[in-house]
Amino acid sequence: MDGDFICCRLSQLRNKKGVSAREMSLAIGQSNSYVNMIENKSFLPSMTEFLNICEYLQITPMEFFDEGIQNPIKLKTIFNDMRSLDDEQLTVIAAMVKSLKNKKTS
Residue 10 makes CB contacts below 8 A (sequence gap 6+) with 35, 38, 39, 53
User: Which residues in 41-58 are b (16+ Cβ under 10 Å) and which e?
Assistant: eeeebeeeebebbbebbe
pLDDT digits (tens, 9 = 90+) for 18-50: 999 999 999 999 999 999 999 999 999 999 999
Yes or no: say if 10 and 56 are a contact pair by the CB < 8 Å rule: no
Residue 68's domain comprises 3-105
* CATH number of domain containing 73: 1.10.260.40
- Say how far apart CA 102 and CA 65 lie, in whole Å: 26
Tell me the mean pLDDT in the region 65-79. Answer: 89
- The percent of residues above 90 in pLDDT, for the chain, comes to 79
Residue 5 pLDDT greater than 80, yes or no: yes
Q: Domain total for the chain? A: 1
